[in-house]
Structure 1
């Protein structure tokens, strides 16, 4: 893998070319001071928000319990409290963009979204209505360490661990978005060879019934909108199929181990497949459901070596999936 191919998958690089077939997005260059804030270790401190927003709801209402968190006057701890950072210009720009996009967005950096920190929000997802909520998700995420510190680790021509500039993409939030209708597409030698259901933790019988139709829609979208426009030879891209059969481009990802292959394995995808044949994999039955893989670290940082816990777990899951797929009652 080359740095050039990884860079093409940054949202600020591909979105301008594909915005007409993608989700409405506004992109901001991130000040280096904010990048350092996201990268630094130490106590979890949210910035001072000039708009007076509070990203963390008050969790202590019992005054007796609250006393436990106070430092007594006789305490020997004379250290000064760490001052909260502030990013007023950046905050105002983000606030304006959220308003422009209808009042709710989901954030991502150059490559990754903070999916592992969705549990921190009051809604349990990536929906943000303020700069404070965006900051909370970004600061709480471990998966963003990949973007911040390890973006080029798999590149043979790596000269740096991170890009010179980071960007924050704010993507319009759609309340009618159904995760089971998102699909990851695998392109090898500029040819679509595989499609996988993106949400592997859900069984939806309707998808099985519409499988052929979905394959045709996605293949047509690829041929018309992606194949001759995205310059890499090997890559993946995610799409969302709306109820009206309109297909929307969600993201691009490198052809690399840190991109989740979902219902495939990278070994499957490396094999020579027949010309013009697309493997389309979906969860075929309730028993074939796999756990959600919104791990706290990128896929290549998991210990999946032979004998590891993840190796045993994924092997058993894959075996169960194959059994269910071969069952005469599969999909019933």
Structure 2
């Protein structure tokens, strides 16, 4: 399901103020290069590659691998089809409501019920007629009514994990569907039913990126794809390598999440992950920096197979000194640099004797601006709308609106013809 643009950073990079007499920055930027990114480096950052090694310092999680081709096809197929009504939990009373008091979840459920009832009605009408009609899409309709029929073993395992954890946060090999939380009733990654998991994964561009483009930019030659691959793209992930990660739901305090950039086994910089301003963080700057530095030295510096990588940590209570490892990402341009820019990070020399890693926090002025733009807002509309919006003079939006009206008229005409045909059949009988 293509929504928005593929895997963009969550916000524009932070750029420092230029010096009063800037050097030849064009030549400097042209000379900056990322360390070679290999396919093995990307694989080393996959959750299952490092989770067992750091299990004691990572929140509880279960890895389901392989997920099967049926599940991969389901994630990449157009449209959203969820398990039957019985597989859905009651929606939270704290969910946000639309203007008419109807939740998004209720609307999805209503649509699914209509789809199911239409399928039943069609089946009944077919059995009453004298001539049996063969539908090429019969099997597909069953999967749309209950998509889990295409991956029953995975669905069974998902239910077992949910029964054990109560609620989970899903992700694939590298990415969590953070760009799709807008489609959930809780506006978060919390999932309590299989349908919650399938809905948020299927609505995420980050998940699509994991499936189709995880090895873009790698310098190592890509071998021929195996028959298990779900796509002909040379940068796609083979279906037998796709993993579903179900992490036990923890209500993290977003103010205490940080991203750390490491190069040549030295910390380059540390960035706050949340886009909001938290007044209490500034006095904790030295304490937080020391905790993260000690954590890196003791747990990651000599144990992670690559010398260049990025990792996310969570510090629930700075006074207790506990640091949790949340994720590991490649040291590459598609990893969000957050409060830094990659130009800055690549200029830093961590082996300089006077170098001290900087912890960057959102300032009060910067925090005010985050309220004007909702995170991942580009993913909340169809990609055609995003493409149209970047065309100048309003021509793109006008063309899209005309195309949309034509599609609606075509659909209405098809429906009218179908209904007229059914009426004629009834009259003839």
Q: Which is richer in helix?
A: 2
Task: Quote the RMSD (CA, aligned, Å).
Answer: 2.9
Q: Distance in 2 between matches of 1:11 and 1:191?
A: 22
2:377 & 2:42 partners in 1: Cα distance? 21
Partner of residue 281 from structure 1, selected from 349, 360, 363: 360
| TM-aligned CA deviation for residue 127 of structure 1 | 0.2
8 Å Cα contact 2:213/2:237 also seen in 1: no
Quickly say closer, same or farther: Cα 1:185–1:295, change in 2 above 3 A. farther
Show the counterpart of 1:236.
Answer: 310
2:227 is the counterpart of 1:191: no
Matches within 5 A, 1:20-99: 20-29=56-65, 30-40=67-77, 42-47=78-83, 52-54=86-88, 57-59=105-107, 82-84=141-143, 85=147, 86=149, 87-99=151-163
- DSSP-derived class of the 2:64 partner: strand
Q: Tell me the residue number matched to 1:170.
A: 246
Cα drift, residue 292 of structure 1: 5.8
More strand by share: 1
Q: Shift in Å at residue 162 of structure 1?
A: 2.6
What TM-score does the superposition give when structure 1 sets the normalisation length?
A: 0.78
Cα distance 1:31–1:203, how it changes in 2: closer, same or farther (>3 A)?
same
5+ residue gaps in structure 2? 1-36, 90-103, 123-134, 223-233, 384-389, 392-429
Q: Would you say the 8 A contact 1:208–1:284 is kept in 2?
A: no
Equivalent in the alignment of 2:199: 136
Offset from partner CA, 1:166-220 (integer Å, 9 cap, x none): 0011111113x111110000001110110000112x1001111101100000000
Length, aligned pairs only: 287
**1:234 CA displacement:** 1.0
Aligned to 1:329: none
Structure-2 change in CA distance of 1:206 and 1:60 (3 Å): closer
Contact 2:88–2:193 (Cα < 8 Å) also in 1: no
Per-residue deviation, 1:61: 11
**Uncovered stretches (5+) of structure 1, i.e. residues with no partner:** 302-307, 310-332
Q: How does 1:243-254 map to 2 (within 5 A)?
A: 243=317, 244-254=320-330
Residues 12-31 of structure 1, C-alpha deviations (whole Å, 9 max, x = no match): 10100001111111110111
- Confirm or deny that 1:113 pairs with 2:189: no
Residue 261 of structure 1: aligned partner? 337
Bigger Rg, which one: 2
For normalisation by structure 2, the TM-score amounts to 0.61
Instruction: Tell me, yes or no, if the aligned pair for 1:199 and 1:292 is still in contact at 8 Å.
Output: no
> Which of structure 1's runs of 4+ aligned residues deviate more than 6 A?
69-73
Higher relative contact order (CA 8 A, sep 6+): 2
Q: Which residue number in structure 2 is paired with residue 294 of structure 1? A: 376
CA distance in 1, matches of 2:88, 2:220: 43
